[in-house]
Amino acid sequence: MNVSKVSIIVPVYNAEKTIDRCVTSILKQSYVNLEILLINDGSKDTSLEHMNLLSKIDKRIIIIDKPNEGVARTRNLGILKATGKYIMFVDNDDYMDEDYVETFVKAIKEKKSDIVIGGYRRENFRGKILLEKSLKDTFWSRYILMAPWAKIYKRQYLLKNQIKFLSYPIGEDVYFSLHFIALKAKISVIDYMGYVWYYNEKSVSNTIQKGIKKEINLIGLLNKLNDLFKEKDEYTKYFFYKYCVWYLLYSGRNAYHKDFVKEYKILKESLQKHNNFPIMSSFSKKLNGESLKDRLSVFVFRILEKCHLLSVFSLIYCRGGKE
């Protein structure tokens, strides 16, 4: 019986405290035909030493050491170096259940898909589950999880369509995931939560977007995302609007209210320019699987916007650049 090889790509940066658990969970997988690419992205701690010791345990582990270039270029290198029929991504502080790879391989073969998406569990350093996110088999579910993990991909589809992560201060994974949607790839969704997303308070994703910063040019990202689409349906337009709302609420919390309003006006102009204002209601049945929290966030924001109350809202919401 021909068992397809799966290449698991793990970008590693300053992960000396978590890389052992991460790799051990991969080695314990019930699916054994694996190629494990551990790519050291110029770590300044002892991550590389840990990686080298792990590689002595199992010959399936391949170590790649390179200067620091960021997670996007590191993952792109992994795609080029991979030799498996399928590709999966794992972050260096996360881990997964023992049937994780087997479940995804079975799904992508049975459904004959280009990509299969699953759910995840969110866990803190105490081992407490903060969130369990399962995905329903709906069209909107492909817009819910933008991270590259909890998914499996056909490697040849990535190479043939030149699907890459965007080397940018924000949204490198959003660009990657939306590319599949723009290409109308065959995407399947499974009701499975075998991936554990570890909540690391010191990670880049939990720190870089706090506060509206000049070095994070969201307009540049939006322009690149728009370039992916020849035309956008109502789902995509809603996603663009929601993404802008998320950015303003998340990054704007620790910003000065004047900066919040200024950024809002810039983003509104971009949404208008690219015809990205949503027609769909936040409570539409078409958004099946969307959390109530996310629905309410967009709904309330649109109400404030229509009533010209965002400036007043920012006076209350923004913390003036303080943590």
**How far is it, in rounded angstroms, from Cα 146 to Cα 176?**
8
List the CATH number of the domain containing 156: 3.90.550.10
Q: Sort 177 into a burial class: Cβ within 10 Å, 0-12 / 13-18 / 19+.
A: buried
323 residues of the chain, pLDDT tens digit each: 568 999 999 999 999 999 999 999 999 999 999 999 999 999 999 999 999 999 999 999 999 999 999 999 999 999 999 999 999 999 999 999 999 999 999 999 999 999 999 999 999 888 889 999 999 999 999 999 999 999 999 999 999 999 999 999 899 999 999 999 999 999 999 999 999 999 876 654 444 446 777 778 899 999 999 999 999 999 999 999 999 999 999 999 999 999 999 999 999 999 999 988 888 999 999 999 999 999 999 999 999 999 999 999 999 999 885 54
3-state secondary structure of 62: strand
* CB-CB neighbours of 151 under 10 Å: 21
By C-alpha distance, which of 230, 213, 86, 202 is closest to 155?
86
Both 223 and 188 in a single domain?
no
Q: Sort 265 into a burial class: Cβ within 10 Å, 0-12 / 13-18 / 19+.
A: exposed
Strand order through the sheet with 115-117: 61-66, 34-41, 6-12, 86-89, 151-154, 115-117, 187-189
Domain count of the fold of the chain: 2
Both 188 and 286 in a single domain?
no
Both 102 and 202 in a single domain?
yes
Both 85 and 225 in a single domain?
no
3-state secondary structure of 208: coil
Angle, vertex CA 180, rays to CA 161 and CA 221, nearest 5: 95
For residue 213, being part of any structural domain is answered with: no
* pTM of the predicted structure, to 2 decimals: 0.92
Both 76 and 191 in a single domain?
yes
Q: Which position has the token pair 């003036």?
A: 320
Final residue of a structural domain among 206, 229, 248: 206
For residue 283, being part of any structural domain is answered with: yes
Question: To which H or E segment does residue 14 belong?
Answer: none
HEC sequence for 69-117: CCHHHHHHHHHHHCCCCEEEECCCCCEECCCHHHHHHHHHHHHCCCEEE
**How far is it, in rounded angstroms, from Cα 247 to Cα 316?**
17
For residue 126, being part of any structural domain is answered with: yes
**C-beta of residue 133 within 8 angstroms of C-beta of residue 206:** no
**How far is it, in rounded angstroms, from Cα 149 to Cα 101?**
11
Tokens read off for 172 = 């490198």
* Amino acid letter, 166: L
> What domain range is 168 assigned to?
6-206
